[in-house]
Amino acid sequence: MTRGINRDGNIDNAKTLVIDNKRVREEVDIAQETKTVDTNEINKLINERNNKVNDENTTKNQDINIEDEIEKSIKKMVARETLVARAYIDGDEKIVSPNINDVIDDDIKDKDEATKEDIYVTSGKNAKKKMDKKTLYTIIAISVAVVALIVVMIVVAVTSNKSVKSGYSYNEKTGMNLYDQGKYVDAIDYLKKASLTSQGKKDLELKMTLYQCYYKTKDYDSAIEILKDILTYDSDYKDAIKALAKLYYDENMGEELTQLINTYKDTSSEKYIEEYMVNAPVPNKSAGSYNEDIEVTFTEEDNIVIYYTLDGTKPTTQSTVYEDPIKLNNGTTKIRAIAVNNVGVYSDEFEGEYVLVYTKPSAPNISPASGTYTQGQVFAITNIPEGAKAYYTLDGTTPTSQSQEYVDEVVLPVGNIIVSAIIVGDHDQISQVTKRNYIITATVTYTRQESQTLLQEKLKTNGVMLNNTTLANNNKAEISYVSTSMIDQMSMYVFQLKDKTSNKVVGTYGVGINSGTCYILTESNGTYISNAL
């Protein structure tokens, strides 16, 4: 069987293939010492490969699958070098080469035949002679060495190409160009590879471009992760902080946005997230001690909900919603409150302790001072706080809230009178007791007729009567005596004033026998209560 070298079999993409020409020539020279080789054929093969190296003109961003092309080239080159080895055997005559593809297809078949039969070379007269084993082994060794050298060179080329394609510069430039063209999905693959290199890990501008690609393709999870990665290299990277805050806000990620705010609050980068911050609740009354009931209110804002607790626990969105004023009672109350916006961002917490201690009212001020006074003397309590009440007795016993309530000045009866009084606050706090001792002496004794005359004059002064016989409404009036009674420890004549026209009682009155003081009387449970006219 006659075989040769196909001169059209070349390597399609040899820009990364480098042939050590000197080494190949040395191998050929060694072979020529034993047999004649078609050196022109070998030189042409070398030149073709070198020309391919010089013809590099790869278009930027064109991703050629060089590994597949080199795999094809390896097969062709192995076949060629096998034929070169066979050329040693074929002698000095001109070699006619079959198609290289045929060589590749028939390679295994010919190997099997060669191992089973003796190998012959053809002389100038086409006569066959057996080759000695030493020469045969030498030729085979040279062929294997040449093939191994080429394979090594190809592996180096492939490795070099892979290194370039996985490197920072190639992927960064390719990714940026694709981004500029609006091909964001394609750009992601290259920019991501570039960002994983040692140089790319520190290239924050590249990572921001990668973030833009994720954002524009609506891959928000990846966009968030790349922004967080940027901040691990530069925690104050302005664009990353602003972009991350906006993403959290747009995606209603309130908890994450709250954490981001807390990270940069009170730092130089706070200005980048302050538009997303929520103000803490502000009460109308500051924390502290009070001696009266108070109501705490908070200023409410649009799209804000306030949550609070009163037991000292941390407020959450599961706590009580603030809607009405918080009424505080006696004792200590700790209010804790937060404000949460419609995205779920938490404000700082308000915490305040309010202490309400209801103090006792001051003891009553009773005037005049203890002493001896003439009949008709009155006493008064002058320091009753708003919302409080005063109670008194005239026999020295300690008053309670069931005793006689002080409303206005009280006329002291004749005798040795001990006035005792207390003030009860609006939360039932009871003051100390104040006492006064009065000795009231009688000066005169008024007759029933004198008392009635005094009453008529008082009623005319107060506008109840026009004259002794006519009421203010011009109806006929009549004053009649009822009884003499001890009322509020005073002896009194009791009279009734009637409207004779309607035959109705206008009022019941008393006149102090010893003082001549006139009183209007009200009956309660069969007992009269007096109030000075």
User: Residue 219 maps to which CATH number?
Assistant: 1.25.40.10
Task: Enumerate residues 6+ apart whose C-beta is below 8 A from 67.
Answer: 158, 161, 162
| CB-based burial label for 367 (10 Å; 0-12, 13-18, 19+) | exposed
Helix (H, G, I), strand (E, B) or coil at 531: strand
Same domain as 108, residue 33: yes
**What angle is formed at CA 193 by the lines to CA 192 and CA 196, rounded to 5 degrees?**
90
Is-contact 339 400, C-beta < 8 A?
A: no
Phi/psi at 230 (nearest 5 deg)?
-60, -45
Cβ neighbours, 10 Å, residue 59: 6
d(CA 42, CA 79): 13
Q: What is the pLDDT of residue 149?
A: 67
For 174-243, the DSSP string reads HHHHHHHTT-HHHHHHHHHHHHTSTTGGG-HHHHHHHHHHHHHTT-HHHHHHHHHHHHHH-TT-HHHHHH
State the CATH number of the domain containing residue 295: 2.60.40
DSSP 3-state assignment of 115? helix
- Report the pLDDT value the prediction gives residue 359, as an integer from 0 to 100: 87
Could you tell me which of 115, 91, 117 has the C-alpha nearest to residue 34? 91
CA-to-CA dists, residue 172 to 67, 165, 177, 217, 234, angstroms: 22, 10, 9, 19, 20
Which helix (H) or strand (E) covers residue 73, if one does? Answer: helix 66-90
Q: What is the CA radius of gyration of the chain?
A: 59
Same domain, 416 and 379: yes
- Identify the domain boundary among 165, 193, 220: 165
Same domain for 191 and 294, yes or no, is no
CATH number assigned to the domain comprising residue 387: 2.60.40.10
- On whether both 152 and 213 belong to a single domain, the answer is no
Amino acid 171: pLDDT: 96
- Looking at the fold, whether 132 and 88 belong to one and the same domain comes out as yes
Length of the chain: 533
In the block, tokens 């020409």 appear at: 21
* 265 inside domain: no
Burial of 289 from C-beta contacts in 10 A (0-12 / 13-18 / 19+): exposed
Among 281, 298, 299, 296, smallest CA distance to 350 is for: 281
Same domain, 332 and 228: no
List residues bridging with 524 in a β-sheet.
Answer: 527
150 in any annotated domain: yes
Same domain for 49 and 134, yes or no, is: yes
Q: Domain total for the chain?
A: 5
Same domain, 135 and 53: yes
pLDDT at position 210, please? 97
Residues 341 and 228 in one domain: no
Neighbours of 88 (CB within 10 A): 22
485 located within any domain: yes
Does any domain span residue 63? yes
Q: Are 177 and 60 in contact (CB under 8 A)?
A: yes
* Domain coverage including residue 397: 366-441
At which of 143, 165, 187 does a domain end? 165
Q: What is the pLDDT of residue 17?
A: 38
- Tell if the pTM clears 0.75, that is, is over it: no
Tens-digit pLDDT profile for the chain (533 aa)?
Answer: 333 334 343 434 333 333 444 554 555 455 444 444 455 655 565 565 555 444 433 333 444 455 555 556 655 665 665 555 555 445 444 444 444 444 444 444 444 444 444 434 444 444 444 556 666 667 677 766 666 666 656 555 445 455 555 689 999 999 999 999 999 999 999 999 999 999 999 999 999 999 999 999 999 999 999 999 999 999 999 999 999 999 999 999 999 999 999 999 999 999 999 999 999 999 999 999 998 889 999 998 889 999 999 999 999 999 999 999 999 988 899 999 999 999 999 999 999 999 998 889 999 999 999 999 987 899 999 999 988 999 999 999 999 999 999 999 999 988 899 999 999 998 889 999 999 999 998 777 889 999 999 999 999 999 999 999 999 999 999 999 999 999 988 889 999 999 999 999 999 999 998 888 999 999 888 889 999 88
Cα end-to-end distance, the chain, whole Å: 155
114 plus 158 within the same structural domain: yes
| pLDDT for res 19 | 41
- Say if 146 falls within a structural domain: yes
Cβ atoms < 10 Å from Cβ of 77:
24
Do both 159 and 172 map to the same domain? Answer: no
Domain boundary among 337, 356, 375: 356
Q: Calculate the CA dihedral of residues 111, 117, 122, 127 and round it to 10 degrees.
A: -160
CA 162 vs CA 149, 159, 165, 177, 511: distances in Å: 20, 5, 5, 20, 125
In a domain, 157, yes or no: yes
Q: Do 337 and 382 belong to one domain?
A: no
DSSP summary character for residue 147: H
3-state secondary structure (DSSP) of residue 120: strand
Give the pLDDT confidence score for residue 97 in this predicted structure: 42
Q: Is residue 483 part of a domain?
A: yes
Cβ atoms of 104 and 75 within 8 Å: the answer is yes
Q: Is residue 247 part of a domain?
A: no
Return the pLDDT at 152: 56
